[in-house]
């Protein structure tokens, strides 16, 4: 059985705990590899390695750090097919979907190469007589990232690119469900010239996470996962005195107004609801159909579902792959087995591939979902699209704003005034106008509101630079010694 290793001090290292975690092939249902979960000592070794590398990497010039990121960008680009294939092999998403993930990761590397500009401070000459004041941004030290299974390449790059280029060193704890790509990225960083120890990977589970949270040398934690765990990581990390950004779950609403183009809205709902088998925190999971648009919209979505090609990543015609594990697939099907008063329009359990090997489930559509049902409340994280009917625009907005989550939302309309009012009214971190998955480009920042984010800074982009640095203000004077005197009064600024 293939063993997926740790990455410590610039090289792959076998685990020693003997505690094996399975890595499945979601398309066949068979185990393809194992992870030996890191011990506390192995996780502490990763932190020690990063701590030892920090002084030298921090002292590297901004030009040098940016040069490493430029080289890393070229290496990721040159190896994008291999990275995408590895993601598909362990996650199950189609190769085209995995390639899109790598492309969005590349955008974040490109943003990080601008660190010489992004880390510029401010300078005020003659703030007081003979006194200058300036601000600088400095790295935190050792920082850690805990990443989810659904984007094993992109989400780590959301974190470590900015962290490293700011002068920090990094410890990554990837998902144990699809961990191999983390080692490939680590090796590409090594090839790009990153010093040994500046980037480490510990494979494992809760034990590794708890060790990173408690470790006094870890200054900051970035996390992406479910809301209960995000809340727990945030609370434990902040109690330990760390800076924490913890991105949680979502229940993204797509509001469709009566004037919307039904075909365009249906295309968008299918694309955003079933892409990556719904295993995206920015997937559309609720369509809010306003007024008379509901019936034609449900019919249009239903018709399109029948044309989705579901299959393994090895099938070049496949548009949607399996879910990550059997347990997760069975959890998702539970919502279809007990829809309450809602109407299951398309049942993915009846798709032929759902009865074969692997963790497949066909795209599913459930209409007339009540807001008090589990179908509406829970983050299902699978290919199940719920339709909630609303009579008015105000009712639709109230649905979005009353929801526990505030990650992403979208509105489909041809009315510019309505769209502008929606982006003003809605209580949510990311908004799309006729864009169903409004993931910001790399030079903005990603993150939701309410129970979708714990912490005050979003991920990647300018706020990512802020998260991985702290500001220092220097007040400087070079007086003539002959003019020195004792003055017990309050410092003068005029």
Residue 330, Cβ neighbours under 10 Å: how many? 13
CA 318 to CA 63: how far, in whole Å?
Answer: 43
DSSP 8-state symbol, 369: -
Question: Which residue in the list 34, 166, 281, 428 is annotated as catalytic?
Answer: 281
Q: Considering only CA atoms, which of 249, 248, 276 is closest in space to residue 100? A: 276
Burial readout 192-228 (b: 16 or more C-beta within 10 A, e: otherwise): bebbebbbbbbbbeebbbebbbebeebbbbbbbbbbe
- The answer to whether the CB of 140 falls within 8 A of the CB of 171 is no
281 is catalytic: yes
- The answer to whether the CB of 386 falls within 8 A of the CB of 366 is yes
The CA-atom distances, in angstroms, between 214 and each of 145, 236, 242, 260 are 14, 8, 9, 51
CA 335 to CA 373: how far, in whole Å?
Answer: 10
**DSSP H or E stretch at residue 2:** strand 2-4
Q: Considering only CA atoms, which of 176, 246, 241 is closest in space to residue 206? A: 176
- The answer to whether the CB of 434 falls within 8 A of the CB of 479 is no
CA 310 to CA 351: how far, in whole Å?
Answer: 9
Q: Considering only CA atoms, which of 403, 457, 33, 476 is closest in space to residue 253? A: 403
- The answer to whether the CB of 382 falls within 8 A of the CB of 332 is yes
Bridge partners, residue 48, by sequence: none
The CA-atom distances, in angstroms, between 465 and each of 141, 459, 473 are 14, 9, 17
479, two tokens: 């007086």
Q: Considering only CA atoms, which of 44, 170, 182, 33 is closest in space to residue 112? A: 170
DSSP secondary structure letters along 57-93:
HHHS-HHHHHHHHHHHHHHHHHTHHHHHHHHHHHH--
Residue with tokens 């390449």: 153
370, two tokens: 């009540």
**CB within 8 Å of 152: residues ≥ 6 apart:** 87, 90, 91, 174, 175, 178, 179, 181, 182
Q: State the number of CA atoms in the 13 A half-sphere of 87 facing the CB.
A: 29
Residue with tokens 């006729």: 434
Cite the active site residues. Answer: 281
């Amino acid at each position: 059985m293939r063993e997926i290793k740790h990455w410590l001090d610039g090289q792959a290292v076998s685990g020693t705990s003997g505690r094996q975690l399975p890595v499945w092939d979601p398309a066949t249902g068979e185990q393809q590899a194992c992870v030996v979960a890191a011990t506390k000592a192995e996780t502490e070794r990763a932190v020690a390695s990063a701590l030892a590398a920090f002084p030298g990497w921090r002292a590297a010039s901004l030009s040098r750090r940016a040069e490493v990121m430029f080289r890393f960008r070229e290496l990721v680009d040159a190896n994008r097919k291999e990275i995408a294939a590895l993601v598909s092999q362990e996650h199950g998403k189609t190769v085209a979907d995995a390639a899109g993930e790598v492309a969005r990761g590349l955008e974040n590397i490109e943003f990080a190469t601008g660190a010489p500009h992004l880390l510029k401070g401010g300078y005020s000459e003659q703030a007081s007589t003979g006194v200058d004041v300036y601000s600088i941004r400095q790295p935190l030290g050792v920082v850690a990232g805990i990443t989810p299974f659904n984007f094993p390449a992109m989400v780590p790059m959301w974190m470590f690119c900015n962290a490293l280029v700011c002068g920090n060193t990094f410890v990554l704890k990837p998902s144990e469900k699809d961990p191999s790509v983390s080692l490939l990225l680590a090796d590409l960083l090594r090839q790009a010239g990153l010093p040994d120890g500046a980037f480490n990977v510990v494979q494992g589970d809760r034990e590794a996470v708890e060790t990173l949270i408690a470790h006094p040398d870890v200054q900051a934690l970035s996390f992406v996962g479910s809301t209960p765990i995000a809340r727990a990581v945030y609370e434990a990390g902040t109690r330990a005195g760390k800076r924490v950004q913890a991105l949680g779950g979502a229940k993204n609403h797509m509001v469709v107004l009566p004037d919307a183009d039904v075909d365009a809205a249906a295309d968008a709902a299918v694309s955003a609801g079933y892409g990556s088998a719904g295993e995206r925190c920015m997937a559309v999971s609720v369509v809010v159909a306003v007024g008379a648009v509901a019936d034609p919209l449900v019919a249009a979505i239903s018709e399109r579902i029948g044309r989705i090609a579901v299959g393994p990543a090895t099938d070049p015609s496949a548009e949607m792959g399996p879910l990550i594990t059997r347990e997760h697939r069975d959890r998702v099907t539970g919502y279809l087995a007990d829809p309450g008063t809602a109407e299951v329009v398309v049942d993915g359990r009846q798709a032929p591939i759902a009865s074969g090997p692997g963790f497949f489930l066909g795209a599913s559509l459930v209409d007339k979902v009540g807001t008090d049902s589990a179908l509406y409340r829970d983050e299902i994280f699978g290919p199940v699209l719920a339709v909630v009917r609303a009579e008015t625009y105000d009712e639709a907005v109230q649905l979005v704003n009353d929801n526990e989550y505030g990650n992403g939302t979208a509105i489909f309309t041809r009315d510019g005034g309505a769209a502008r009012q929606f982006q003003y009214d809605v209580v949510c971190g990311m908004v799309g106008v006729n864009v169903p998955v409004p993931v910001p480009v790399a030079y903005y920042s990603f993150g939701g509101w309410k129970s979708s984010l714990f912490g005050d800074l979003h991920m990647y982009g300018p706020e990512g630079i802020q998260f991985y640095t702290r500001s220092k203000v220097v007040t400087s004077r070079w007086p003539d010694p002959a003019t020195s005197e004792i003055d017990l009064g309050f410092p003068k600024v005029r």
